[in-house]
Amino acid sequence: NAGVTQTPKFQVLKTGQSMTLQCAQDMNHEYMSWYRQDPGMGLRLIHYSVGAGITDQGEVPNGYNVSRSTTEDFPLRLLSAAPSQTSVYFCASRLSWAGELFFGEGSRLTVL
Amino acid sequence: GIQVEQSPPDLILQEGANSTLRCNFSDSVNNLQWFHQNPWGQLINLFYIPSGTKQNGRLSATTVATERYSLLYISSSQTTDSGVYFCAVERSSNTGKLIFGQGTTLQVKP
């Protein structure tokens, strides 16, 4: 099993550009989520999904869109990147509403 | 929202020493997990422990949900234990939002 796979691992954008961070899991997990990690801020929840077709906002959702058309995939879209979105992004999944959370390896995004 | 406070923020140990990390939270929770982020940035789940006590090798954790705290014990620390330890909680009334504390940065010196 690959677990939780994130792509790309590194990305540099210019202000105003759009991009999608991909996240896929092969563990048949219902729950998936996106976090961002900034120095001194810990991990903050952006969006999460409790199943295909269902998404909800986390602590810091502004500037990000998500969708969940399949159980396996949960992409994170930045429609117009801003320097404040420079961060390390982590995707995570778990079997259901409870249980251990498993993380991908992270994607480092720099917005110039 | 729920507040999650971890202490101490930083900890330096000599190899072989024991330590206790604390996580306080401000509301009733149905989910509490401990994670280790290694120096390469990988996040590893250590314990899923909404209540009670669990042990895994040199690590153990205890959550007293009624008093709103959890403790992570590291015994006979090794240099590979270095990194950041995070506690994350989910409110009983707000399932889906797993909220992280700021973390405890541990450095184990040889």
Given an 8 Å threshold on Cβ–Cβ distance, is B102 in contact with A58?
Answer: no
Q: Is the pLDDT of residue B79 over 80?
A: yes
Q: Do the Cβ atoms of B63 and B4 come closer than 8 Å?
A: no
- What average pLDDT does this structure show over A5-28? 97
pLDDT in tens, A32-66: 999 999 987 789 999 999 999 999 999 999 999 99
Which of the four pLDDT bands, split at 50, 70 and 90, describes residue B41? Answer: very high
Q: pLDDT above 90 covers what percent of chain B?
A: 88
Compute the nearest-CA separation of B76 from chain A (Å).
Answer: 25
Given an 8 Å threshold on Cβ–Cβ distance, is B100 in contact with A56?
Answer: no
Which of the four pLDDT bands, split at 50, 70 and 90, describes residue B1? Answer: confident
Half-sphere exposure of A74 (CA within 13 A, CB side): 32
Q: Is the pLDDT of residue A1 over 70?
A: no
Q: What are phi and psi of B80, to 5 degrees?
A: -70, -10
Beta-strand pair A31-38/A87-94: antiparallel
Q: Is the pLDDT of residue A29 over 70?
A: yes
- Other Cβ atoms less than 10 A from the Cβ of B71: the count is 17
Given an 8 Å threshold on Cβ–Cβ distance, is A97 in contact with B98?
Answer: no
Averaged confidence pLDDT in chain A = 95
Whether residue B33 lies within 8 A of chain A, CB to CB, comes out as yes
B89 contacts on A by Cβ (under 8 Å): none
**Position with higher pLDDT, A89 vs B95:** A89
Quick one: pLDDT at residue A78? 97
Q: pLDDT above 70 covers what percent of chain A?
A: 99
A92 contacts on B by Cβ (under 8 Å): 43
Beta-strand pair B104-109/B83-91: antiparallel
Residue with tokens 């903050």: A44
Q: Hey, what's the torsion of the CAs at A18, B43, B86, B29, to 10 degrees?
A: 80
Q: Catalogue the E-assigned strands of A10-63.
A: 10-13, 19-25, 31-38, 42-51, 54-57
Given an 8 Å threshold on Cβ–Cβ distance, is B88 in contact with A101?
Answer: yes
A59 contacts on B by Cβ (under 8 Å): 1, 97, 99
B100 contacts on A by Cβ (under 8 Å): 35, 42-45
Inter-residue long-range contacts of A49-55, CB under 8 Å, 24+ positions, other chains counted: A49/A74, A50/A97, A50/B96
Compute the nearest-CA separation of B23 from chain A (Å).
Answer: 14
For A42, the closest of B1, B86, B97 (CB atoms) is B86
Quick one: pLDDT at residue B93? 67
